[in-house]
Structure 1
């Protein structure tokens, strides 16, 4: 969950959101230090209490605010369910990898609980594990795309990478709103950085573990996205995690080398390669594309 994009989205549909708190600057001073003062597990509870005070004594969340939070909640449910089912399966993970997946699962659960508290009665119905089918068979209604997802460590981590990379791009789509709110950026950046490390760590786990094609950039990725990665580790179904959204001028592919109208290759000849230029920037993805990708795993 990219928290500062979420806060920025809320401000866009509810300009009075900060007036609901104790004061705009005091709120951000609190958020800016929460990462230093609290453990990762405690941060969601602190934020939940903050939002509850903001909205709890009023008439409830505005509909548009609830929609923003519920979209984030669906993504958190998907990731929480994915990691939970993996940990209860016979998936042969190393002790180190199992510990890492447990931490990821706990983070996602904290996010779910935080969002449900914030939303109150406006929250969507809880999504049980049975709401998802990570084999891609839609509950047995079609041939599974990933039948061994919870028995093959390579496949599991490949799918985990796609989910984490998708989350980063999904929330990146709100950045234009964020850019005009410097306080949000400065105060919540420390919290966001922890979330961003999820994707990087999963990629590191893949690089050091089982690989379908040893030595291949797709099987042993860098800790960050480079180019469009030929559609990532599972291009047949999830290639659009890395490709362009709609419209393409606003949601370019991850291999984009033009930023703010500047062609990085021609601007820095002999220095910038296509790979380096693409690695320097993450690209956003539109909500429709994100919803479609998540929908592959709903029953």
Structure 2
């Protein structure tokens, strides 16, 4: 066995492996106080770290595939609308052409990162909103729902990528999804932020929990002027994976 290659392989999925290995071996050596004990500690430490790294790698794949499924939905939605919608986008068409390019880039990046582990594109459907490609206002409502859901979904998964390079990529996509959401809201001539849990015509589940006013402390208690409206607009809440899947399940994403 090439021990140095093993260290390299482990570190590729667990950047903290050298520090953990040092801790494990020192602790075992100090407890037993012999070179022989250290020799025993080394494989034990490697086994422990390898198990942690494998679990971490599997979880990262799950998070990235979850994100990929959402990106499949958004990319397909805009592509289909631009190609098949019977309404007139008017001056807004270039906006959605650009958003579609962004979503296609997100799909390609995630597919590349996952390689053979990338989830296949699901069979998507939009019959939950029968007039989504014939009525521009319905299209905007669904676009807003998808973008706002995406923003909260990335936020909900971010802790699972803590201290991993994939977190940077996820946050880069998250920031662009937030800009998409703001632009779609602007096109609807509404507020570009979320007030309480007002859905503005989108499915209510997209905004469940957005009325929260507690960010470690109840922000309303910090002084005058911090009303429910101000607080909920100032902080955006995450969504769990389960909540997101309930929202997108009618569109064929599971």
Equivalences for 1:15-30 in 2 at 5 Å?
Answer: 16-17=12-13, 19=15
- Hey, what's the Cα distance between the residues in 2 that align with 1:18 and 1:298? 34
2:136 counterpart of 1:156: no
2:126 counterpart of 1:134: yes
CA RMSD of aligned residues (A): 2.9
The answer for unaligned runs of 5 or more in structure 1 is 1-13, 20-58, 137-145, 208-220, 244-252
- Hey, what's the Cα distance between the residues in 1 that align with 2:177 and 2:212? 23
Q: In the TM superposition, what whole-angstrom CA distance separates every residue of 1:93-122 from its partner, at most 9, and x where no partner exists? A: 333311111111111111111111121111
Confirm or deny: 8 A CA contact 1:226 1:279 kept in the other structure: yes
2:233 counterpart of 1:268: no
**Of 184, 198, 206, which residue of structure 2 is paired with 1:241?**
206
Confirm or deny: 8 A CA contact 1:162 1:232 kept in the other structure: no
**Of 163, 167, 177, which residue of structure 1 is paired with 2:150?**
167
The answer for unaligned runs of 5 or more in structure 2 is 1-9, 16-53
**Of 203, 208, 233, which residue of structure 1 is paired with 2:185?**
203
2:89 counterpart of 1:94: yes
Larger Rg: 2
2:196 counterpart of 1:223: no
Q: Which residue of 2 aligns with 1:248?
A: none
* Residue 280 of structure 1, CA deviation: 0.6
Confirm or deny: 8 A CA contact 2:65 2:119 kept in the other structure: yes
Q: In the TM superposition, what whole-angstrom CA distance separates every residue of 1:269-296 from its partner, at most 9, and x where no partner exists? A: 3x11111110010001111111111111
* Residue 227 of structure 1, CA deviation: 0.8
Q: In the TM superposition, what whole-angstrom CA distance separates every residue of 1:23-55 from its partner, at most 9, and x where no partner exists? A: xxxxxxxxxxxxxxxxxxxxxxxxxxxxxxxxx
Higher relative helix content:
2
The 1:185/1:90 distance shift into structure 2, 3 A limit, reads closer
* Residue 16 of structure 1, CA deviation: 4.2
* Residue 80 of structure 1, CA deviation: 0.6
Q: Secondary structure at the match of 2:251?
A: coil
Confirm or deny: 8 A CA contact 1:203 1:222 kept in the other structure: yes
2:70 counterpart of 1:75: yes
- Hey, what's the Cα distance between the residues in 2 that align with 1:174 and 1:162? 18
Aligned residues, how many? 206
Q: Secondary structure at the match of 2:141?
A: helix
- TM-score, normalising length from structure 1? 0.62
Q: Which residue of 2 aligns with 1:288?
A: 242
Confirm or deny: 8 A CA contact 2:158 2:170 kept in the other structure: no
Q: Which residue of 1 aligns with 2:210?
A: 254
- TM-score, normalising length from structure 2? 0.72
- Hey, what's the Cα distance between the residues in 1 that align with 2:78 and 2:85? 13
The 1:196/1:117 distance shift into structure 2, 3 A limit, reads same
Higher relative contact order (CA 8 A, sep 6+): 1
Confirm or deny: 8 A CA contact 2:219 2:226 kept in the other structure: yes
